[in-house]
Structure 1
């Protein structure tokens, strides 16, 4: 560890979790980092070049709309829809707490987006443009991937979708509806058959496409220790490889005599 050194750190007003960090990859090649705390605050971290040529770390608080004062941020994710411009989409899942012990928790997926005509990236503008999707489950891991459909050995469509796991032991797919100017949930089994059966809430997901989007490798881990690796033939939307195992949790008791 001697070759590592601290580059920069900044304080957050409350803790986050493994889901509250996302990378922003700009069309120019620059990268920024979004870091959220549970108590609503979201920071954008980046390095900026000073007049002398040195890199200066900066972190600023970004005010995202439609996050109530009593809400907690559970997870966030972001992607750029374009490779030539900045068409960012940022997803944030929240739980709205209530002082009433008998009331049910309100959970939402907030989706922020705005197209930037210039090369300048203005995250404050994106943070003001929100679509809200009401959820009926407690959100866990939020990520994104391509939804690819084939026809006659040709890619018919390829677009980004949000993937969100929940405490209902399901993995939910949210796709943009351009005609309705909103996001709607898809029937996941019709597009991602690898998520058809999960024994407990999915806490982590990784997805990689291979062979020009003809194959999809998906792995996920469940809260109970269940781990699954699958390969999908995207052209016919069929599973062609399926491996699973369960990690045993061993508790050790130490007794001092």
Structure 2
């Protein structure tokens, strides 16, 4: 695996590969890699000739400085994990390589930016789109791979690529879970044993909603999930919503082609998100 820390060196290497008509697959990450990230690399491996992964803890998408400060950065361990799944190229830029002093960015993402995660973390998706646009400009991938756990992020990035006419195919990859149902997340390392056990309420609420999808109406499904989560020990619920997966607007009927339940909550101090397609 080759490791690049500057945009110019990475671009020069990729330009050579593109001249050879290689299909470039790209997996952007913030590091603290787990099997969920590695599953993205494996899917990219199947669909691309060259797999590029980036590790960059992006400061502009954190609205809480302490959250940025405590975000895990086990770079050496991450490099070994990437080698184990045959990643071809790692881009590991310092902050000054990605941002100039006093830089500004704004893209009109409409209502998508102000619901769910956007409502809880104002400015978050401006930071996400800003850095992903930078990465797309540098890597110029044919395909980019993102996890379904950040479902809203995938829709927002698809919208950005349409608005800015960026020629990249965005592939959403399935959520990876522990055997007990907990969605894999870099934040899980902050959970104590008790908090981790409590956090299972999120996937349990989603699975129960999916299991009863046929026999109950949408309002009852949401009401019961919210009641269950509010009664769950150690869980501080932010939201549980049942939305049209194509638009992220409230699902009005079960006739919609794809309906998704999305949840966010804190277990202890750690904020977790999860989701599940219901139909």
Q: Which has the higher contact order (CA 8 A, sep 6+)?
A: 2
Structure number with larger C-alpha Rg: 1
TM-score strictly above 0.5: no
Where is the helix percentage greater, Structure 1 or Structure 2?
A: 2
TM-score range normalised by the length of the shorter chain: under 0.3
Q: Using structure 1 for the length normalisation, give the TM-score.
A: 0.23
